[in-house]
Amino acid sequence: MNKLTRALQRIIPGGRQLVIGVPFLWLFLFFMLPFFIVLKISFAEADVAIPPYTQIYTFVDQKIQLLLNLGNYAMLGDDDLYISAYLGSLKMAFFSTLMCLLIGYPMAYAIAKARKDVQTVLLLLIMMPTWTAILIRVYAWMGILSNNGLLNSFLMWLGVINQPLEILNTNIAVYIGVVYSYLPFMILPLFANLVKHDESLLEAASDLGSSTFNSFWKITVPLSKNGIIAGCMLVFIPVVGEFVIPELLGGPETLMIGRVMWQEFFNNRDWPVASALAVVMLAILIVPIVLFNRSQAKEMEGKA
Amino acid sequence: MKRFRFSKLMLVLGLLFIYMPMVILVIYSFNGSKLVTVWGGWSVKWYVGLLDNSQLIGAVGRSLEIACYTAIAAVILGTLAAFVLTRVAHFKGRTLFGGLVTAPLVMPEVITGLSLLLLFVAMAQLLGWPEERGLMTIWIAHTTFCSAYVAVVVSSRLRELDLSIEEAAMDLGARPWKVFMLITIPMIAPSLAAGAMMSFALSLDDLVLASFVSGPGSTTLPMEVFSAVRLGVKPEINAVASLILLTVSIFTFLIWFFTRRAEKRRQRAIQQAIEEAAADGWKQPDARRAPAPIAA
């Protein structure tokens, strides 16, 4: 019996390997490996079959033939639709990140300065929307922004406008929706950073005659660099691939890459082109993602 | 002083901006009129009408089932990942591991969804599994991205823990596994609960991943809502959305309640220990901290 246990112990990996191995294997299999498959299929051709693409390698007469079809990528470069969709997504992501930062920074600052018991409640109020479906929060805006919606009725009742403003199904509505949905993701990392700041630095500055604004700009802002990076990345990266918000609030002129990819995949059933679109999107986003991972790794190891 | 007032004003305005649309949505779900923009008196008929919608009820059941399984799996996986990241300083591929854990937080959902679907299709071709996409594949997709959230929440708690308690147990001869189960787990229990509830809510809300990896007959609640919403604002959807909001608020409240209670208990225990130590009238010598023996 003892021999058996010892033999078993040799075969079964030790606790350490198991603890590291299980999450590693899961994430590798279901998060990393799929990207390589996307890459592979982006070189295939669309086909009327199940699944709807051709194989990129064939094994005939003891020869492996690898057939890489670059047509999908060439098409992305040629077609204005795709280029303007990428540019539209980047522009949307950039400006909404900026707006989130401008609105979110003061909010995070106020929460960090609040009393401890108030702080928990405020944090919870900020966090709750992130657990509510984006779908529902965006849907709420559909009712408010539509031509005969609440906002227009209210403005007309005030007498500010005579005719309803066209907001729903324009880029303005998408901006509102994006800032609204992603604001908490900006505030939370900023708060986590701001709350750790040492008050005595600000006191020292004010003792030496620095104005409040000056010390804010020269001490608080530089110290919160990591929080700003994390917050901006948490907003910027997902917004580039956002689908739900432009689909529900945007109009025909709202070209965003997530939406175009969705249409290629679900409406045109062109899996290779959708894959190529995803690969290029990932290539654009890889730098921000690495930046985010670095700041997150520092945070997790407690070095930040 | 002026800036203080400005940031507070922004906070109030920001919270109004966040909550006003939701409040309006809930109020309008009680609108008696068929026209969503005209107020026709209070009524609960849209809620009553939901009960007859068997398609919707089925979707709710499926979504809840997936969310339960996701919460359990994501907590286990996320906790393991957080433990590795905070306690195991060196192993091969650590940077890659860290990247794999945090990247799902920001990866656009359309990319993750598409890549997972292609994986499942390839696996079905090569291995014959999964035979058809459904609850199982949605569960895998949700577990993968929820465990990243759990890892972030749990690792921040693990970092705060006093290592000396675990070290003491290990010095007294407890096996690493036992230390983890008897000492670490109870100490991080509140964040585990928070992570589980967060995963539950995230899974319940997800539209994009589920749309990609679901199969015939496995429509989840968000997919059902989305296909209705695409056609415009409808009173029935107002009612569904309000119910989802209510569920999430209850969850949030529970999290707040549990974390507050755990915090209070912890502070009381610390206070008590200090008082007892003072009453005993002697002080323990300051133990030199040995470098942490990592689970071998």
Tracing tokens 């669309």 back to the chain, one arrives at A46
Can you tell me whether residue B218 is helix, strand or coil?
A: coil
Model pLDDT, residue A8: 61
Model pLDDT, residue A14: 66
Give how far B158 is from chain A: nearest CA, Å.
10
What domains, with CATH codes, occur in chain B? 48-277 (1.10.3720.10)
Q: What is the mean pLDDT of residues B180-189?
A: 85
Task: Tell me which amino acid residue B223 is.
Answer: M
Q: Using an 8 Å CB-CB cutoff, list chain A residues near B122.
A: 37
| Residue B250: closest C-alpha in chain A | A128
Nearest to B21 among A20, A141, A300 (CB): A141
Using the beta-carbon criterion (under 8 Å), do B108 and A240 form an inter-chain contact? yes
Give how far B276 is from chain A: nearest CA, Å.
27
- What does the DSSP 8-state code read for residue A29? I
| Residue B151: closest C-alpha in chain A | A300
pLDDT score of B281 more than 80: no
pLDDT, averaged across chain B: 83
pTM for this entry: 0.84
Q: How much is the ipTM here?
A: 0.85
Quickly list DSSP for A166-229.
--TTSHHHHHHHHHHHHHHHHHHHHHHHHTT--HHHHHHHHHTT--HHHHIIIIIHHHTHHHHH
CB crowding B224-233: b at 16 or more within 10 Å, else e: bbbebbeeeb
Using the beta-carbon criterion (under 8 Å), do A180 and B21 form an inter-chain contact? yes
Q: Using an 8 Å CB-CB cutoff, list chain A residues near B162.
A: none
| Number of neighbours of residue A88 by Cβ within 10 angstroms | 21
Selected for mutation to probe chain A from B85, B118, B123, B294 (highest A CB count within 10 Å) is B118
Using the beta-carbon criterion (under 8 Å), do A139 and B103 form an inter-chain contact? no
Model pLDDT, residue B36: 66
Percent of chain B with pLDDT over 90: 20
Could you state, in order of their start, the residue ranges of all structural domains in chain A?
75-301
pLDDT band at B1 (very low <50, low <70, confident <90, very high): very low
Model pLDDT, residue B183: 84
Quickly list DSSP for B73-142.
HHHHHHHHHHHHHHH----TTHHHHHHHHHHHHHS-HHHHHHHHHHHHHHHHHHH--SSS-SHHHHHHHH
Summarised one tens digit per residue, pLDDT across range B119-169 is 999 888 888 878 788 899 999 999 998 999 999 889 888 888 878 888 888
Q: What distance in Å separates the CA atoms of residue B183 and residue B168, rounded to the nearest whole number?
A: 11
Using the beta-carbon criterion (under 8 Å), do A20 and B144 form an inter-chain contact? no
Burial of B273: CB neighbours in 10 Å, binned 0-12, 13-18, 19+: exposed
CB crowding B13-47: b at 16 or more within 10 Å, else e: ebeebbeebbebbbebbbbeeeebbeeeeeeeebb
**HSE value, Cβ hemisphere, 13 Å, CA-based, for B289:** 8
Quickly list DSSP for A144-160.
HHSTTSHHHHHHHHHTS
Model pLDDT, residue A301: 62
CATH number listed for the domain at residues A75-301? 1.10.3720.10
Q: Using an 8 Å CB-CB cutoff, list chain B residues near A37.
A: 115, 118-119, 122
Nearest to B159 among A38, A240, A302 (CB): A302
- Dihedrals phi, psi of A241, to nearest 5 degrees: -95, 10
Percent of chain B with pLDDT over 70: 92
Q: Which helix (H) or strand (E) holds A33?
A: helix A33-41
Using the beta-carbon criterion (under 8 Å), do A136 and B201 form an inter-chain contact? no
Q: Are A255 and A85 in contact (CB under 8 A)?
A: yes
Using the beta-carbon criterion (under 8 Å), do B25 and A293 form an inter-chain contact? no
Query: Could you tell me which of A210, A112, A17 has the C-alpha nearest to residue B176?
Result: A17
List of chain A residues with pLDDT < 70: 1-14, 300-304
- ∠B154-B261-B201 over CA atoms, to 5°? 50
Selected for mutation to probe chain B from A264, A293, A294, A299 (highest B CB count within 10 Å) is A293
Give how far A145 is from chain B: nearest CA, Å.
10
Selected for mutation to probe chain B from A56, A213, A300 (highest B CB count within 10 Å) is A300
Using the beta-carbon criterion (under 8 Å), do B122 and A37 form an inter-chain contact? yes
Nearest to B205 among A107, A132, A265 (CB): A132
Using the beta-carbon criterion (under 8 Å), do A241 and B8 form an inter-chain contact? no
Nearest to B114 among A27, A242, A275 (CB): A275
Q: What is the mean pLDDT of residues B6-14?
A: 88
| Residue A117: closest C-alpha in chain B | B260
Which two structure tokens, joined as six digits, stand for B207?
């539209």
Summarised one tens digit per residue, pLDDT across range B70-117 is 999 999 999 999 988 888 777 888 888 888 888 888 889 999 999 999
Give how far B263 is from chain A: nearest CA, Å.
12
| Residue B107: closest C-alpha in chain A | A238
- What does the DSSP 8-state code read for residue B35? S
Q: Using an 8 Å CB-CB cutoff, list chain A residues near B233.
A: 139, 142-143, 146
Selected for mutation to probe chain A from B33, B97, B114 (highest A CB count within 10 Å) is B114
Model pLDDT, residue B295: 46
Contacts of A177 (CB under 8 A, 6+ apart): A138, A141, A245, A248, A249
